[in-house]
Amino acid sequence: MGQQTVDRSDNVAYNRAKLWQIILFAANNTSTNIYLVAFSFVTYFSTGILGLAAIFVSQLMGYIRIFDGIIDPSIGVLIDKTDTKFGKYRPILILGNLITALSFIFLFNIDHFGKALTMPLFIVALIIHKIGYSMQQTITKAGQTALTNDPKQRPIFNIADGVMSAILFSGSQIVVSGYLMKKHGGFTDSFFNELMWGVIIISAILGALAVVGIWEKDNKKYFGLGEEKTQKTEMKDYIKVIKGNKPLQVLSISAALIKFSAQLFGDAVVTVMLFGILFGDYALSGVISGLMVIPNVLVTTFAASVARKKGLRRAYIMCLQVGIAALAGVAGLLFVAEPGSLNLTSWGGFSLAFVVLYALGRYFASAPSGLVLTMGADISDYETSVSGRYVSGMIGTIFSFTDSIASSFAPMVVGWVLAAVGFAKEYPTAETALTSDLKLATIALFAIIPIAVLLVSLFLMKFYKLDNEEMARVQEKIHAMKAAKDNERVQDIAKNVPLSDMDYVDLSQYPVDEP
């Protein structure tokens, strides 16, 4: 292998990916998110088909997400310890997708086992599902560290992911409200059977594309400092990482709060309450979803463009600020809204204002969730620069852990709010009459609670310091560590060279072999 001398204008010898590799690997997030979309309808399956109480299901779904968070660190260790001829990431991705698919087949056939087994089998199915989902979903964050470390390239992942996610979330609502509901006459057995197989097939195809995308980069030479110089990690070291990595602590909590609000935006029950009850026409949810595809893509692309120019931190904060302001406007409109207020045929002032503020509020407030997928890779690189360790799996699952704990409260909060207004046994449907209590519950779940949570998330970002300049220093330090002659020198640089000192280091003195 030839040597490459890097000057200050180039900063470091980046590991870059081809555009098609980034796009295909981004499909992994959509592959797991399609299960997340389908999962929001499990509440109707559990109450309508299985006959379980709504308040019980809402709390159980929350506890299952907490369980998901508890097992996530174990999955992170599994990923970090995986070392096969087939790579580190591909085996976990494929196994996770297979387990998740089998869990869905099991879940939507529980009603065939008899009433006595309904509750225990429902819980078992949810647990199996969460294990498979976490395995595959964590690869989205962990694999990006190997895919590319170029700060100009990493946000491209967010654009690709954003486009696919926009098509998924908007398209799924169109399919459910405009096709499946009409074809099957509501949330029936046949509805869930078609939903199940559609989700399994689409997810498997997207997962296969992601495997192709990460194929070349799923190699030890792209992990951390490379096979020889990356420090071996013992179980006790994971505690050190969690306790000592402040960017990880801050961003994981901030991102979890954003995911919580995003869960409320996309919750199937909240969607029914907003469009089916408050506006009086559930089919509007599908129409709105169709209209939102382009705004969603534009917001995601804009956020990624800001990230490429100004850094991920700047883009993250900007999205939160715009999202909070727009949601405040949505809250104001919902207070004066009544059935029939939203008319997408005549397009009056209310309808136009709602659509614009809805698009800005929902998608700017949710955009940081996509940016976090890439920021997790930044934090993994930061950890490598200060310890010499490569623990992308663990760092990815720490985000999943806090994400699961926070998002577990979304169905719980929906259940609590609805129980407070008289819906403890069953969820309101599109046929439920609008009352003042239901209206206030809808406004609280879709706007007021998210605004409060997002303000806390925004405050936490004051303590997250990995901006563009700091990440340049991180990559420069990793470059110097790769050029070190032995592991002792690697550790010396990691422990004794602060990132601030990298401003005074001449990287031309650190030639490294090209990967």
Strands (E), 297-454: none
Token pair belonging to 171: 């398209």
CATH of the domain at 308: 1.20.1250.20
Cα(437)–Cα(441) distance, rounded to whole angstroms? 6
Q: How far from each other are the two terminal CA atoms of the chain, in whole angstroms?
A: 8
Mark the ranges of the chain whose per-residue pLDDT is less than 50: 1-9
Q: Is residue 342 assigned to a domain?
A: yes
Cα(393)–Cα(68) distance, rounded to whole angstroms? 15
Residues 138 and 75: beta-carbon distance below 8 Å: yes
The structural domain count of the chain equals 1
Residue 73, number of CB atoms within 10 A of its CB: 17
Q: Is residue 498 assigned to a domain?
A: no
Q: Is residue 108 assigned to a domain?
A: yes
Q: Is residue 240 assigned to a domain?
A: yes
**H or E element in which residue 57 lies:** helix 54-81
Q: Is residue 483 assigned to a domain?
A: no
Cα–Cα distance list, 363 to 54, 96, 265, 406, 441 (Å): 29, 28, 10, 19, 22
Cα(354)–Cα(495) distance, rounded to whole angstroms? 53
pLDDT at 239: 78
Cα(32)–Cα(103) distance, rounded to whole angstroms? 13
Nearest of 163, 165, 128, 145 to residue 379 by alpha carbon: 145
Q: Is residue 273 assigned to a domain?
A: yes
What pTM value is reported for the model? 0.76
270 Cβ neighbours under 8 A, 6+ residues apart:
264, 414, 442, 445, 446
Q: Is residue 320 assigned to a domain?
A: yes
Of the CA atoms within 13 Å of residue 377, those in its CB half-sphere come to 26
Cα–Cα distance list, 385 to 245, 263, 497 (Å): 11, 34, 10
pLDDT at 9: 39
Cα(291)–Cα(512) distance, rounded to whole angstroms? 50
Counting residues of the chain whose pLDDT is more than 90, the rounded percentage is 35
Identity of the amino acid at 356: V
Of the CA atoms within 13 Å of residue 43, those in its CB half-sphere come to 27
Domain residues for the domain of 114 are 20-473
Cα–Cα distance list, 50 to 100, 141, 246, 378, 427 (Å): 20, 35, 45, 44, 14
Q: Is residue 3 assigned to a domain?
A: no
Token pair belonging to 273: 């309450």
pLDDT at 395: 84
Write down the H helix ranges in 422-486.
436-443, 449-460, 468-483
Q: Which residues share a beta bridge with 3?
A: 513
